Structure 1
Amino acid sequence: MSCDHDPLYTKEFRQILTDSEVEVIQTRVGCPQQNGYAESFVSAIKRECIDHMIFFSEKSLRRAVEQYIDHFTTSVPRSAVAGDQLPRDR
Protein backbone atom coordinates (compact mmCIF):
# COMPACT_ATOMS: atom_id res chain seq x y z
CA MET A 1 0.00 0.00 0.00
CA SER A 2 1.29 3.43 -0.85
CA CYS A 3 0.51 6.19 1.64
CA ASP A 4 1.59 9.70 2.45
CA HIS A 5 2.31 11.30 5.82
CA ASP A 6 -1.30 12.03 6.72
CA PRO A 7 -1.89 11.72 10.47
CA LEU A 8 -4.70 9.26 9.68
CA TYR A 9 -2.00 6.65 9.07
CA THR A 10 -1.27 6.02 12.74
CA LYS A 11 1.24 3.54 14.12
CA GLU A 12 -1.66 1.31 15.07
CA PHE A 13 -3.07 1.40 11.53
CA ARG A 14 0.34 0.62 10.04
CA GLN A 15 0.72 -2.27 12.49
CA ILE A 16 -2.60 -3.73 11.36
CA LEU A 17 -1.37 -3.58 7.77
CA THR A 18 1.95 -5.15 8.69
CA ASP A 19 0.21 -7.91 10.66
CA SER A 20 -1.94 -8.54 7.56
CA GLU A 21 1.22 -8.89 5.46
CA VAL A 22 0.52 -5.67 3.55
CA GLU A 23 3.69 -3.84 2.53
CA VAL A 24 3.45 -0.12 3.30
CA ILE A 25 5.39 2.19 1.01
CA GLN A 26 5.46 5.75 2.26
CA THR A 27 5.82 8.68 -0.14
CA ARG A 28 8.36 11.41 0.44
CA VAL A 29 7.34 14.35 2.61
CA GLY A 30 5.76 17.18 0.61
CA CYS A 31 5.36 15.14 -2.59
CA PRO A 32 1.65 14.32 -2.97
CA GLN A 33 2.19 13.83 -6.72
CA GLN A 34 3.97 10.55 -5.90
CA ASN A 35 0.57 9.08 -5.11
CA GLY A 36 -1.36 10.85 -7.86
CA TYR A 37 -3.86 8.10 -8.73
CA ALA A 38 -4.92 7.69 -5.11
CA GLU A 39 -5.10 11.45 -4.54
CA SER A 40 -7.25 11.81 -7.67
CA PHE A 41 -9.58 8.99 -6.62
CA VAL A 42 -10.01 10.28 -3.06
CA SER A 43 -10.74 13.76 -4.36
CA ALA A 44 -13.26 12.41 -6.89
CA ILE A 45 -15.14 10.14 -4.50
CA LYS A 46 -15.45 12.91 -1.92
CA ARG A 47 -16.55 15.54 -4.46
CA GLU A 48 -18.81 13.33 -6.59
CA CYS A 49 -20.31 11.00 -3.97
CA ILE A 50 -19.68 11.35 -0.24
CA ASP A 51 -20.14 15.13 0.00
CA HIS A 52 -23.67 14.79 -1.43
CA MET A 53 -25.00 12.12 0.90
CA ILE A 54 -25.85 11.59 4.55
CA PHE A 55 -25.01 8.15 5.89
CA PHE A 56 -26.88 6.65 8.82
CA SER A 57 -24.77 3.52 9.05
CA GLU A 58 -21.45 2.07 7.97
CA LYS A 59 -23.40 -0.33 5.75
CA SER A 60 -24.96 2.50 3.74
CA LEU A 61 -21.56 4.20 3.39
CA ARG A 62 -19.96 0.96 2.19
CA ARG A 63 -22.76 0.40 -0.33
CA ALA A 64 -22.37 3.92 -1.74
CA VAL A 65 -18.59 3.54 -1.98
CA GLU A 66 -18.90 0.15 -3.71
CA GLN A 67 -21.35 1.58 -6.24
CA TYR A 68 -19.13 4.60 -6.83
CA ILE A 69 -16.06 2.40 -7.35
CA ASP A 70 -17.98 0.35 -9.91
CA HIS A 71 -19.02 3.56 -11.69
CA PHE A 72 -15.51 5.05 -11.45
CA THR A 73 -13.79 1.96 -12.89
CA THR A 74 -16.27 1.12 -15.65
CA SER A 75 -17.91 4.32 -16.85
CA VAL A 76 -15.86 7.46 -16.30
CA PRO A 77 -12.99 8.32 -18.67
CA ARG A 78 -10.05 9.94 -16.90
CA SER A 79 -8.55 11.87 -19.82
CA ALA A 80 -6.07 13.78 -17.68
CA VAL A 81 -4.52 10.47 -16.68
CA ALA A 82 -4.89 8.09 -19.59
CA GLY A 83 -5.95 9.77 -22.81
CA ASP A 84 -9.71 9.16 -22.56
CA GLN A 85 -9.38 5.49 -21.63
CA LEU A 86 -11.66 4.00 -19.06
CA PRO A 87 -9.71 2.94 -15.97
CA ARG A 88 -10.57 -0.75 -16.57
CA ASP A 89 -8.99 -0.53 -20.08
CA ARG A 90 -5.56 0.56 -18.94
Structure 2
Amino acid sequence: MESLLNSIKASGLDEKFYLDKIDEYMSFYDDLCTINEQLTMMKSDKNFSLKAYTEATAEKRRISSEMRSLLSYLGLKPVTPAGAGGGGRYEEL
Protein backbone atom coordinates (compact mmCIF):
# COMPACT_ATOMS: atom_id res chain seq x y z
CA MET A 1 0.00 0.00 0.00
CA GLU A 2 2.81 2.36 0.89
CA SER A 3 4.40 1.85 -2.51
CA LEU A 4 1.12 2.64 -4.28
CA LEU A 5 0.56 5.74 -2.16
CA ASN A 6 4.06 6.98 -2.91
CA SER A 7 3.55 6.37 -6.63
CA ILE A 8 0.28 8.30 -6.88
CA LYS A 9 1.64 11.16 -4.77
CA ALA A 10 4.66 11.38 -7.09
CA SER A 11 2.21 11.60 -10.00
CA GLY A 12 0.21 14.34 -8.27
CA LEU A 13 -2.82 12.10 -7.80
CA ASP A 14 -3.12 12.41 -4.03
CA GLU A 15 -6.76 13.54 -3.95
CA LYS A 16 -9.33 11.55 -1.95
CA PHE A 17 -10.80 9.95 -5.08
CA TYR A 18 -7.44 8.39 -5.96
CA LEU A 19 -6.80 7.37 -2.37
CA ASP A 20 -10.16 5.57 -2.46
CA LYS A 21 -8.97 3.68 -5.56
CA ILE A 22 -5.92 2.54 -3.60
CA ASP A 23 -8.22 1.33 -0.82
CA GLU A 24 -10.27 -0.56 -3.42
CA TYR A 25 -7.07 -2.13 -4.82
CA MET A 26 -5.98 -3.22 -1.35
CA SER A 27 -9.40 -4.76 -0.70
CA PHE A 28 -8.96 -6.83 -3.87
CA TYR A 29 -5.46 -7.72 -2.69
CA ASP A 30 -6.85 -9.04 0.61
CA ASP A 31 -9.47 -11.07 -1.28
CA LEU A 32 -6.78 -12.49 -3.54
CA CYS A 33 -4.69 -13.55 -0.52
CA THR A 34 -7.72 -15.30 0.97
CA ILE A 35 -8.44 -17.14 -2.28
CA ASN A 36 -4.78 -18.20 -2.57
CA GLU A 37 -4.89 -19.60 0.97
CA GLN A 38 -8.07 -21.52 0.16
CA LEU A 39 -6.61 -22.89 -3.08
CA THR A 40 -3.52 -24.07 -1.20
CA MET A 41 -5.70 -25.84 1.36
CA MET A 42 -7.80 -27.42 -1.40
CA LYS A 43 -4.68 -28.76 -3.13
CA SER A 44 -3.50 -30.41 0.06
CA ASP A 45 -6.88 -32.10 0.59
CA LYS A 46 -7.09 -35.22 -1.57
CA ASN A 47 -10.89 -35.11 -1.60
CA PHE A 48 -11.39 -31.50 -2.71
CA SER A 49 -14.23 -30.46 -4.98
CA LEU A 50 -13.04 -29.78 -8.51
CA LYS A 51 -16.03 -27.48 -9.03
CA ALA A 52 -15.14 -25.36 -5.99
CA TYR A 53 -11.49 -25.27 -7.07
CA THR A 54 -12.43 -24.19 -10.60
CA GLU A 55 -14.75 -21.47 -9.28
CA ALA A 56 -12.05 -20.17 -6.95
CA THR A 57 -9.47 -19.99 -9.74
CA ALA A 58 -11.98 -18.19 -11.97
CA GLU A 59 -12.62 -15.65 -9.20
CA LYS A 60 -8.86 -15.25 -8.77
CA ARG A 61 -8.56 -14.34 -12.45
CA ARG A 62 -11.42 -11.82 -12.20
CA ILE A 63 -9.89 -10.17 -9.14
CA SER A 64 -6.46 -10.03 -10.78
CA SER A 65 -8.02 -8.38 -13.82
CA GLU A 66 -9.72 -5.75 -11.64
CA MET A 67 -6.44 -5.07 -9.88
CA ARG A 68 -4.63 -4.57 -13.21
CA SER A 69 -7.44 -2.25 -14.35
CA LEU A 70 -7.07 -0.12 -11.23
CA LEU A 71 -3.32 0.12 -11.72
CA SER A 72 -3.84 1.17 -15.34
CA TYR A 73 -6.46 3.72 -14.31
CA LEU A 74 -3.99 5.24 -11.86
CA GLY A 75 -1.31 5.27 -14.58
CA LEU A 76 0.81 2.71 -12.76
CA LYS A 77 2.33 -0.39 -14.27
CA PRO A 78 4.12 -3.17 -12.41
CA VAL A 79 7.71 -3.93 -13.26
CA THR A 80 7.94 -6.86 -15.63
CA PRO A 81 11.16 -8.82 -16.00
CA ALA A 82 12.87 -8.41 -19.37
CA GLY A 83 11.96 -11.27 -21.66
CA ALA A 84 8.86 -12.21 -19.67
CA GLY A 85 6.57 -11.34 -22.56
CA GLY A 86 5.60 -8.03 -21.01
CA GLY A 87 7.66 -5.97 -23.39
CA GLY A 88 10.17 -4.75 -20.84
CA ARG A 89 10.08 -2.53 -17.78
CA TYR A 90 7.38 -0.04 -16.86
CA GLU A 91 7.04 2.39 -14.01
CA GLU A 92 8.23 0.67 -10.87
CA LEU A 93 5.70 0.55 -8.03
Q: Flag the structure with more relative contact order, 1 or 2, with Cα contacts below 8 A and sequence separation at least 6.
A: 2
* TM-score tier (shorter): under 0.3
Q: Which has the higher strand share?
A: 1
Query: Who wins on radius of gyration, i.e. which is larger?
Result: 2
Q: Which has the higher helix share?
A: 2
